[in-house]
Amino acid sequence: MDYELDNRIALVTGAGRGNGRAIANLLGENGATVIVNDIEQEPASETAEAVRNAGGQATVITADVSDEAEVQAMFEEAEDQFGAVDLLVNNAGIGEGDRFRNKPGMEVWKRNMEVNLYSAIHCCTHALDGMLGQGYGKIVNVTSIHTKNGIGMSPQYDVSKFGVLGLTKTLALELGRDGIRVNAVAPGWVETRMTEGFDPQTRDQITELNPLGRFADPTEIAHAVAFLCSPASDYINGHELRVDGGQQPIDNWKHRYEDSETETE
């Protein structure tokens, strides 16, 4: 499938593993020059090498995207090398949290907001001048299946991802006439490091309530992102594309914490 991304400069955050690596690989395969961001050098370099081995172009810029100063430096370096970033994929995130009734400290809330929401705000802020200057840009924010119903086990994560969805909607309204499209992809349960620690009962419950009967592969999330980065999505703006296999709400997570007072996700 050709997403027609030749000569586009794409920056993918959290691209060292999982969905981010799959997204970087697919954008590179379709002609984009990929700036691979991750907080860790080694996995980012592995992703960039995979992109290059597949015939694409990639470079690595490590940065903690929850830190605005590091994000600013990342975009300055990217623009020095390549000019304005055309395609921004805000994929970096964490899945930490604890039930509200356990009264987790504000540090847990702060960490989720910084990594999941503020990172997207920082990256949009520093991508914007270049996109406005050229009258073109595609921003894809990675939200979550949690924005459909919430889950009830990790309100810190849920709130941060609802925030990313709100950011997507409001920026789409503000920036559409400037030639910038802002959309989101909401993955369901994917075979990544975030889910590999799920106990068998949780995995069975998830797959039982999924019409496709399985978790997604990261490449399936990547195809949704690539579509929203492509010319085929030029009239799509402010949309959250759910890639969850039609997953139904999981109402009973009691088995995950019934014997624990401070279980975390």
Q: Which residues, in sequence order, are CB contacts of 150 under 8 Å at separation 6+?
A: 158
**Does residue 157 have an active-site annotation?**
yes
- Give me the pLDDT at residue 30, please: 98
Percent pLDDT > 90 in the chain is 78
Q: Which CATH class is domain 9-256?
A: alpha beta
75-105 confidence digits (pLDDT tens):
999 999 999 999 999 999 998 887 778 788 8
pLDDT at residue 148, as a whole number: 86
**Position 262 pLDDT exceeds 50:** no
Is it the case that residue 225 has pLDDT exceeding 70? Answer: yes
Identified catalytic residue from 3, 118, 136, 157 = 157
Structure-model confidence comparison of residues 106 and 194, the more confident one? 106
Residue 159: helix, strand or coil by DSSP? Answer: helix
Give the mean pLDDT of 150-167.
Answer: 90
- Which one, of 88, 121, 128, 62, lies nearest residue 8 by Cα? 88
Give the model's confidence band at 264: pLDDT under 50 very low, under 70 low, under 90 confident, else very high. Answer: very low
The whole-number pLDDT of residue 263 equals 34
- In degrees, rounded to 5, the angle at the alpha carbon of residue 97 between the alpha carbons of residues 204 and 142 is 75
Domain range list for the chain: 9-256
For 59-68, the pLDDT digits (tens) are: 999 999 999 9
- Tell me the H-state helices in 15-118: 18-29, 41-53, 68-82, 106-112
CA distance 192 to 213: 17
